[in-house]
Amino acid sequence: MADLGWPELSIIVIAFVLLFGWKKMPDMARSLGRSARIFKSEVDQMHTDASPGARTEATTPRPYAAGPASLADAEARAAAAEAELARRRADAEVARLRAEREALDRTTG
């Protein structure tokens, strides 16, 4: 990796400010800090969950821990969701065609 000196870093900073604008910089820094805190807490949570005997009753389970137990379960849920989506799309198409037919019947007679 190349060594970056002050001239290179200043060019990068100037380009960054020109691309994103001066007014958005505080919001971006705030978002970056928030993301770093969330990442750090998730990594700490992962380390405490991985260490034996560290889990206590006060530790709440993660919301995604109740998900499918295996890949087959996940695939079955995905297939069911796709079938439900296809059914809803078909129902919407039928409703659209009925409305179109009713509008055509009203105009013709």
Domain boundaries along the sequence of the chain: 1-53, 68-109
Give the model's pLDDT for residue 19: 87
Label residue 9 exposed, middle or buried (CB < 10 Å: 0-12, 13-18, 19+): exposed
Q: What is the pLDDT of residue 20?
A: 84
Q: What is the pTM of this model?
A: 0.35
Which residues in the chain land under pLDDT 50?
57, 68
The reported pLDDT for the residue numbered 60 is 53
